Amino acid sequence: MADPSVTLTVTGGADGLGLPLRHGDCRLTAQPVATASLIAPYPGRVAACSAALAALGLAFPAPGQGLSAQGARIVWAGREQAFLFDAAPPDGLAEHASLTDQADGWARFLLQGTGAEAVLARLVPLDLRAGSFPQGRVVRSLLGHMPLLLIRAASDAFEITTYRSMAGSAVHELGRAMRATAARG
Amino acid sequence: MSGGWRIPGRGAEIDRARPLRFRFDGRDMEGFAGDTLASALMAAGVRVVGRSFKYHRPRGVMTAGAEEPNALVEVIEGPQQTPNVRATVQELYGGLQARSQNRWPGLSFDALAVNDFLHPFLGAGFYYKTFMWPRQFWERVYEPLIRRAAGLGSLSGRADEGEYEKAYAFCDLLVIGAGPAGLMAALRAGRAGADVILAEADTQLGGRLLADLPEIGGQGARDWLAGVRAELAALPNVRVMTRTTVTGAHDGGTYGALERVGLHLADPGDLPRECFWRIVAKRAVMATGALERPIAHPGNDRPGVMLAGAIPAYVNRWGVAPGRRVVIFGNNDSALSAARALTAAGIEVAACVDPRPEAAVLEEFPVYRAAQVVGTRGRMGLHTVQVRHAGGLSEVQADVLGLSGGWNPTLHLACHMNGRPQWDDRIAGFVPREGMVRGLTAAGAAAGRFSTSQCLDDGARAAGEALAAMDMAAPEVTPPAAEDAPYGIAPFWAVDARGRAWLDFANDVTTKDVAQAALEGFASVEHMKRYTTQGMAPDQGKNSNTAALAVLADATGQSIPETGTTTFRPPFVPVSIAALGAGARGKGFAPERRLTSDAQTRAMGAPMIEAGLWYRPSYFPRAGETTWRESCDREVTMVRGAVGVCDVSTLGKIDVQGPDAGRYLDFLYTGRMSSLKPGRIRYGLMLREDGHVMDDGTCARLGEGHFLVTTTTAAAGQVMRHMDFVQQGFCADWALRFASVTEHWAQFALAGPKARDLLNTLLDQPVSAESLPFMACQPVSMAGVRGRLFRISFSGALGYEVAVPARYGAALFARLVEGAEALGGGAYGMEALNVMRIEKGFITHAEIDGRVTAFDLGMQRMVSAAKDCIGKPASERPGLMEDGRGQLVGLRPVDPSDAIDAGAPLYTAEAPARAASWQGHVTSAGYSPTLQGWLALGFLAGGRARHGEVVRIHDALRGRKLMARVCDPVFLDPEGRAMRG
Amino acid sequence: MRIPCPCCGWRDRREFTYYGHETFLHRPAPDAGAEAWDDYLHNRENPAGPTRDLWYHDPCGSWVVVARDTVTHAVAGGEGLA
Ligand SMILES: [Zn+2]
């Protein structure tokens, strides 16, 4: 029989990785993911999904788009899919889209500092200039060899999301790039 | 100047207040901050900086740039030893240690210089002619000999511990080279608001202006440059990258560039040595300038012979005189300018020798017209130049001879996409054609326009065209006034006189070698190059290609354009492999995927093994166990007798939802999944469209329109890509979606007769054998945490897999291990897992290696006859269902004390182990403590009909021979009673 | 090499996995016969010039038909399958 005294404690995806990390003016911090649902509308149901998401003040995002309202956030996450963060999927959404809980599958970091763009230029094969990648823009790409969901949170800040299992490698790679970038002054 | 080689009042780039100590060939020397190693050596009076590749002749600095063929040195930094560093590029820093190359035992006395006297036997193609027979001499004698004698520099033999970096950059306009043309292009595009990257290989902007110091817009060149530098620095849309050589032009406007980041610093700190850039540009201006050509004349390789244009560079940039008395030998007007510049700097010009009869008239120095240099003297340093002229033969005392055979536009990048340049008689050289690389325009000297004024104008023009092509307004600019001297040249390549005349200094190729190649039938330029090795040294023919072509043309009676040109390929300058592979060493090679149980697993002392990118425990050693086998045997016994716990989160988990999910899975899997009842699980095979097995796994129906399929660890990515292809390509309008949830769930296998007991210590609602039968699943709750429970078994024991969100993974693993140990069990690793699945005949990618079919595995009945699926039509091809194909069998040694190795080949028992009697191979093997012997799986020709037969295993690789009996691949509990119990 | 993804725009080729000619999209009927299946699976042109082939954009999960030229290396465009 189950022992009622047993509890299962929580371990965060970025626990034990030595964060926050600072090199020069760049800082890398963990940004725990509380809730994340992957929403993938069935063919032809994007509008219906948007209607259901209106309950949260949101709509289904276009590629590269992120929307937020009332503390909830929806972020494009790949072909015909988006992450809903910080809110439960509204009623009726499951009729029009597949919903999967992904909250524990991802590790999220914030890289902040005037050198942040230069740090990422060492790991991400993307045009990160503000004109091409403005604040709020979302992309799927690679962080070195790791999957990446990248959001420009501010002119000098990027939200970096990758697989939870790769969090250690992500911090290692980012740390190395931060150190080298800081050394350039 | 009498006391040394520095010139007072010259050398804007050195800081005389900052002397730097360095070491060359064990001698302590001193230079200044701002020096290159070459200028510092010159100032220290070092004339011989290396020995040549083949003849080991003494050589001196020849150029002032990246094209240097002679001054190649090894730079030593602690354990690091970098060969073939061009002393003309290496900046001086305090404590720099360098060593000359290709000499033994020393620079001044080199034993292998005897090669120089053997030169009649070492001409073109000597490798091919000399080292032919006897054949067995190749490995034992010739190759070690050639390796010792030739080669350029040596490696430390130790791993490179330096940090390297790679990075991406994007821009509207990439300007390559910051001479007058590049600077004007960058200025104009920068003022227009375009995002500009200005890449300059040198330490600073200016190009030839730094050496020649012409007047620009009424200002001195340095003042004009300071103004331009300041304006570019003030433009936020212009990024100036110095010490950055663009090395290649590639597809889609991508350029490779190598930046020297920390190589010039005594203490680079955290700076990488180099950074390899991938620059993506909408347009590019190639303002790479031009490279001066030497002239081939007898004795043109002595220390002191250099390019004429390099002399003012040393004088004006670093304030050092290459010598005290200079002879200039040139066929074009730039040679005369160099001579005048030297006179102005107070250096004595002993003579100017010009093969052209109409060469200029009155100068402050003697000018020999219609004259040629026919020889030199001075083995360790030039002291006499022999000049043949209308009046006869003169001997001129000089310690420097400056050569100028004209200038070649530096058009290498334009040729990197297979474009061919065209010959231009006006400059007696090749010039780029428009459109050789899409989006790239040549400007200035790189386009064959040589005067400063032409360069300034052309840079502005090129930027204007690039801006127009990008639909950007181009503000009008008026380039400043500058010298616009005409460039007169009469083609002149080689002096007709006795003695060896060098074309390729780095590889010791003379005019005779090229003529010899032509004579022996290697008359095509590509053949000549390979036969003589001309152009194959680190300078890649930058100094010799055109002249070699001219000599070849002469030998074959063709014109130069008819003779062709060699192919220029990236990289333009040598790029270290370390820079190309930056970041990929050690942990950077591939990301590590770590399980939620990773920390505890390592704390328990488990050695980790890689499974794809994942790290999984091999086994969990306990006190007293000294070999992996002891631990593995104990873990297997533990599972068979009590209970074991294993982290199986690495298996791919794909969540499939939607009304058409079942229909889709029917198309994907060989079996029917749509008929599965909610709460039940089915084993499935996926085929590739060519009929071979792609992967296997389970499919659990969690709800009416909700499935969870698993993939093997190794194939998770491939299966996801395949599922996307099938969905997007063949059934895009079906109502279903899927997503990988591998990372979200931590999943643990509980296996053994006590698995249910262990499970029920955790479940808020216990399960019984009946409530959750074999191949069923249900949601569960543990300590209030919602998870999923699957009754499946990969060990053949009573088994469950329990999944919780990953944040609870570490805690659940700890709790499961503790619980298992209390029941006489514990954690088990990959070794035990592998033994147990072999005992049960369960397959992995050791068996489904991409070449096997369901038929081969004995799983043909799993390919539903009632429906189509991916791979089914092709799997039914007769050749894939032949009885003679390798079929999955079990193998046990006839002598129970024998072991079997995976990979070992199988032969018929009667015949010897020869290819003709080859019958198949072992795919997996392991020692079964349960069955007290080695078990193996393998593929045996027609194996299903051969159970009971004895086959020969002869593993020549590992020296193991044994006889084995063929049996059913399921060794243990064929009815599956344990896992169903 | 830069390849356009219909979702993400032009991206570095390292973000893509190559598959083969777009022939793979034209799956024969299961009973189309050995020859049709042989053509579908194995037989390909080797064009010097324009071709259309399949690439997978790993980061976003899109399959793309890429129109490119094997002689000039020019990539003309890319479109999704659906
Ligand atoms: Zn994409």
DSSP string, B334-356: HHHHHHHHHHHTT-EEEEEEES-
Q: Are residues B384 and B414 in the same domain?
A: no
Number of domains within chain A: 2
Number of domains within chain C: 1
Closest residue in C to B419 (Cα) is C72
Could you identify the residue written with the tokens 């002469």?
Answer: B554
Residue at B685 is within a domain? yes
What letter does residue B591 receive in the DSSP assignment? Answer: P
**DSSP characters for B920-981?**
EEEEEEEEETTTTEEEEEEEEETGGG-TT-EEEEEETTTTEEEEEEEE-S--S-TT-HHHH-
Low-confidence ranges of chain C (pLDDT < 50): none
Strand B681-687 with B693-703, pairing: antiparallel
Residue at A163 is within a domain? yes
**Cα(B749) to centroid(ligand 1), Å:** 36
Residue at A29 is within a domain? yes
What letter does residue B86 receive in the DSSP assignment? Answer: E
pLDDT score at B2: 45
The b/e string for B541-552 (b: 16+ C-beta within 10 A; e otherwise) is bbbbbbbbbbbb
Q: Are residues A72 and A91 in the same domain?
A: yes
Full residue range of the structural domain in which residue A164 is found: 21-33+104-184
Tell whether C48 lies on the interface with B, counting CB pairs under 8 A. Answer: no
| 3 state DSSP class of B194 | coil
pLDDT score at B155: 79
CA dist C26 and B577 (Å) reads 42
Residue at B557 is within a domain? no
CA distances from B466 to B177, B449, B460 (A): 16, 19, 10
Please give the distance of CA B725 from its chain centroid, rounded to a whole number.
31
CA dist B963 and B940 (Å) reads 14
Q: Are residues B349 and B234 in the same domain?
A: no
Backbone angles phi and psi of A118, in degrees to 5: -65, -35
**Cα(C58) to centroid(ligand 1), Å:** 7
Residue B724 to residue C82, Cβ atoms within 8 A: no
Q: For the segment A97-156, what is each residue's pLDDT rounded down to a tens digit? A: 999 999 999 999 999 999 999 999 999 999 999 999 999 999 999 999 999 999 999 999
**Cα(C56) to centroid(ligand 1), Å:** 8
Q: Among residues B710, B735, B760, which one ends one of the domains? A: B735
CB pairs under 8 A between A and B: 170
Contact A98, A108 (CB under 8 A): no
Residue at B340 is within a domain? yes
Q: Which two tokens stand for residue B627?
A: 């070999």
Full residue range of the structural domain in which residue B686 is found: 655-735
Q: Are residues B225 and B281 in the same domain?
A: yes
Number of domains within chain B: 5
Residue B762 to residue A98, Cβ atoms within 8 A: no
CA distances from B331 to B335, B352, B359, B914 (A): 7, 10, 9, 71
Tell whether C68 lies on the interface with A, counting CB pairs under 8 A. Answer: no
**DSSP characters for B552-566?**
HHHHHT--HHHH--P
Contact A172, A178 (CB under 8 A): no
Residue at B94 is within a domain? no
**Cα(C8) to centroid(ligand 1), Å:** 4
Q: Are residues A93 and A127 in the same domain?
A: no
pLDDT score at B287: 98
CA dist A38 and B741 (Å) reads 10
Question: CATH no. for residue B965?
Answer: 2.40.30.110
Residues of chain B contacting C81 with CB distance shorter than 8 Å = 728-729, 732
Please list the residues that pair with B276 across neighbouring strands. B166, B258
Please list the residues that pair with B75 across neighbouring strands. B82, B98
Residue at A55 is within a domain? yes
Backbone angles phi and psi of A28, in degrees to 5: -115, 120
Q: Are residues A80 and A28 in the same domain?
A: no
- Which residue in the set A13, A43, A179 is minimally distant from B735, CB to CB? A43
Q: Report H helices in B766-823.
A: 809-822
pLDDT score at C52: 97
- Which residue in the set C8, C11, C15 is minimally distant from A63, CB to CB? C8
pLDDT score at B360: 65
Residue at B18 is within a domain? no
| 3 state DSSP class of B755 | helix
Residue A11 to residue B810, Cβ atoms within 8 A: yes
Residues of chain B contacting C41 with CB distance shorter than 8 Å = 689-690, 874
pLDDT score at B81: 87
CB pairs under 8 A between A and C: 35
Residue at A16 is within a domain? no
Q: For the segment A69-87, what is each residue's pLDDT rounded down to a tens digit? A: 999 999 999 999 999 999 9
CA dihedral B768, B770, B775, B779 (to 10 degrees): -50
Contact B427, B407 (CB under 8 A): yes
pLDDT score at B134: 63
Residue at A47 is within a domain? yes
Q: Are residues A94 and A114 in the same domain?
A: no
Closest residue in C to A62 (Cα) is C7
| 3 state DSSP class of B575 | coil
Tell whether A148 lies on the interface with C, counting CB pairs under 8 A. Answer: yes
Q: Which two tokens stand for residue C48?
A: 């010097």
Q: For the segment B866-903, what is each residue's pLDDT rounded down to a tens digit? A: 999 999 999 999 899 988 999 999 999 999 999 999 99
Q: Please, which residues have CB within 8 angstroms of residue B291's CB and are 6 or more apart in sequence?
A: B65, B67, B407, B408, B410, B542, B543
Q: Are residues B810 and B826 in the same domain?
A: yes
Residue C31 to residue B873, Cβ atoms within 8 A: yes
Low-confidence ranges of chain B (pLDDT < 50): 1-2
| 3 state DSSP class of B625 | coil
Q: Among residues B706, B735, B764, which one ends one of the domains? A: B735
Q: Are residues B528 and B635 in the same domain?
A: no
Residue at A67 is within a domain? yes
Full residue range of the structural domain in which residue C73 is found: 2-80
Chain B nearest-CA distance from C46, in A, is 20
Contact B899, B927 (CB under 8 A): yes
Q: For the segment B112-125, what is each residue's pLDDT rounded down to a tens digit? A: 666 776 676 667 76
Q: Among residues B822, B837, B852, which one ends one of the domains? A: B837
Q: Are residues A175 and A141 in the same domain?
A: yes
Backbone angles phi and psi of A105, in degrees to 5: -90, -10
Hey, of C15, C17, C55, C56, which one would you mutate to test binding to chain A, going by the most A CBs within 10 A of its CB? C15
pLDDT score at B1: 42
CA dist B678 and B676 (Å) reads 7
Q: Are residues A26 and A114 in the same domain?
A: yes
Q: Please, which residues have CB within 8 angstroms of residue B559's CB and are 6 or more apart in sequence?
A: B423, B553
pTM beyond 0.80: the answer is yes
Q: Are residues A41 and A79 in the same domain?
A: yes
Q: Are residues B642 and B766 in the same domain?
A: yes
- Which residue in the set C14, C59, C62 is minimally distant from A148, CB to CB? C59
CA dist B514 and B541 (Å) reads 14
Residue C17 to residue B721, Cβ atoms within 8 A: yes
Q: Which two tokens stand for residue A10?
A: 């929580």
**Cα(B687) to centroid(ligand 1), Å:** 26
Residue A104 to residue B807, Cβ atoms within 8 A: yes
Strand B799-805 with B745-751, pairing: antiparallel
Q: Are residues A87 and A99 in the same domain?
A: yes
Contact B176, B183 (CB under 8 A): no
Residue at A167 is within a domain? yes
Using N-to-C axis directions, what is the helix angle for B716-730 and B661-668, rounded to 10°? Answer: 110
Q: Are residues A110 and A153 in the same domain?
A: yes
Q: Are residues A114 and A50 in the same domain?
A: no
Residue at B31 is within a domain? no
**Cα(A63) to centroid(ligand 1), Å:** 9
CA dist B736 and B731 (Å) reads 9
Q: Are residues B266 and B385 in the same domain?
A: no
Residue at A109 is within a domain? yes
Q: What's the ipTM?
A: 0.99
Which chains have 3+ CB pairs within 8 A of C?
Answer: A, B
What is the sign, positive or negative, of the torsion defined by CA atoms of B495, B496, B500, B504?
positive
Q: Are residues A175 and A84 in the same domain?
A: no
pLDDT score at B536: 84
Q: Which two tokens stand for residue B450?
A: 């040589």
Residue B52 Ramachandran class (φ > 0 left, ψ -120 to 50 alpha, else beta): beta
pLDDT score at B146: 60
Nearest to B944 by CA among B895, B897, B885: B885
CA dist B178 and B183 (Å) reads 5
Strand B274-286 with B440-442, pairing: parallel
Q: Are residues A56 and A138 in the same domain?
A: no
Question: CATH no. for residue C20?
Answer: 3.30.2270.10
Q: Are residues B256 and B306 in the same domain?
A: no
Backbone angles phi and psi of C68, in degrees to 5: -145, 175
Q: Are residues B617 and B672 in the same domain?
A: no
Contact B900, B936 (CB under 8 A): yes
pLDDT score at B412: 97
CA dist B412 and B246 (Å) reads 10
Helix or strand holding residue A116 (H, E): helix A116-121
Residue C56 to residue B725, Cβ atoms within 8 A: yes
Query: Looking at this protein, which amino acid is placed at residue B700?
Result: A
